[in-house]
Amino acid sequence: MTAVGIIANPASGKDIRRLVAHGSVFDNDEKANIVRRVLLGLEAVGVERAWIMPDSFGIGARALDGVRLKGLQVSVLEMPVTFSSADTSHATRWMVDAGVSCLITLGGDGTNRLVAGASGQVPLMPISTGTNNVFPTMVEGTLAGLAAGLVARGMADAAVQRVPFLEVHRADAPADIALVDVAVYDERFVAARALWDAARILELVLARVEPGSIGLSSIGAHLGPAALGRPGLHMRMGDDGQRVLAPIGPGLIASVSVAEHRAMESGDQVRIRQPRPCTLALDGEREMALPADREVCVRLSPDGPRVVDTRQALAIGARDGVFIDASLVG
C-alpha cells in the first residue's frame, strides 16, 4: 500500500518577526485548505494511504471536514502530543517506521529541519508556510500532492535530489543539523528564538549561496561573485569589513559588515569558539546557548535530505503519459 505522511506546523508563520519586521501571518485555516488540496492531489495519482500529524489547531481534522475522498484512506495519527516541536520529530519517526514513501511538510525552515533530522531516506515535499523560507518553496497544494504522489508511487524518482546540509557537533551534546545556515549570535539567551538584529551576528556558516532568498543566507548570496556558485560559505563579521545589503527578514533590509569569508566544499569543517557567552542559531532560530570558549564544529555535508522538485516530477509524469486516461490506476 502506497502511503504518504503530512506534517503541518500550526505555529509556522507566526513568530516575533511580525512585530520586528513585516512578516505576514499565515492563517491555520489556509493550512487546512492546503492539506485538503494535497489530499485530493494524492488521491488523483493513486496514493492509497495518508497520515496527518495531530496539532493544537486540528489542521488534519479541519482538512477532512467536507472533503470527498473515494480511494484515499486518511487518518490523523493517534499519538501522545505535547503541542511542541517534539511532536514534529515524533510524528516523522512514526511515519517513517510505518513505511511512508514521501513526507509532505507545511512550515518554514525550522519545521523542515526537525523533519529532516528524523526522515532518513524518505523524500520530502516541502510547502512553504513560514517566514524566512529558503528550504521550502511556495507551491500550490494540489500540485504538491500530485508530485508527492508520483514520487511515492515510484513514478518520478528522477525528481528527487539530495541537498547539502550542515552538521553541528558539540562535545557536550548530541549532534544537530541545519538545512540552510548556522549563526553565532551575540546574545546569552535563546529568548524569542528568531534573529532580526544583524549587528549581533558574529559568524555565519551557509549550506547554500543562492540569490533570491530571504533570511541570513542572503548575506552570503549578496557578497559578490567570489561567493556565488560555491557549495557553502563561512563568514566572520566585523565593523571594518565589506558592507553587504541583504534582506534578512520580510521588509527588513540590513547593511551587514563582513570582515572575512571563505568558500566551503563538501566535507569542509568550521570550528567556532567565542571568548564570551553567546547563542547558536540553526536556520534562523536560536536553539542553544554557547558558553565562552566552548568549541562547536560545523561540517558541510552532501548527505542531506532527499527533496522533491515539484515541476520536475510533474514534467516526468506528463512525459510518461501517466495523466492520460486511467494510466495511474492499478
Q: With bands split at pLDDT 50, 70 and 90, how would you rate the model's confidence at 18?
A: very low
Angle at the Cα of 179 (from 119 to 133), degrees rounded to 5? 110
Q: What is the pLDDT of residues 193-246, one digit of tens each?
A: 778 788 999 999 999 888 888 889 999 999 877 677 778 999 999 988 999 999
- Which residues, including other chains, have CB under 8 Å from residue 86's CB and lie 6 or more apart? none
Section 88-110 average pLDDT: 96
- Which residues, including other chains, have CB under 8 Å from residue 253's CB and lie 6 or more apart? 245, 246, 247
What's CA 30's distance to the chain center, in Å?
Answer: 19
Q: Please give the Cα distance from 145 to 41 (Å, whole number).
A: 4
Section 70-77 average pLDDT: 96
Residue with cell 560559505: 233
- Of 102, 104, 95, whose CA–CA distance to 122 is shortest? 102
Q: List the grid coordinates of 105.
A: 511538510
Burial of 228 (0-12, 13-18, 19+ CB in 10 A): middle
DSSP tag of 135: S
Across the chain, how many H-helices and E-strands are there?
8, 17
- For 50, how many CA atoms within 13 A lie in the half-sphere containing its CB? 33
Q: What CATH code is assigned to 165-301? A: 2.60.200
pLDDT at 15 over 60: no
Q: What is the pLDDT of residues 251-285, one digit of tens each?
A: 889 999 999 999 999 999 999 999 999 999 999 89
pTM for this prediction: 0.92
Tell which CATH classification among 3.30.300, 2.40.230, 3.40.50, 3.30.70 matches the domain 3-163+306-319: 3.40.50
Ordered by start, the domain boundaries in the chain are 3-163+306-319, 165-301
Q: With bands split at pLDDT 50, 70 and 90, how would you rate the model's confidence at 16?
A: very low
Q: Please give the Cα distance from 217 to 182 (Å, whole number).
A: 9
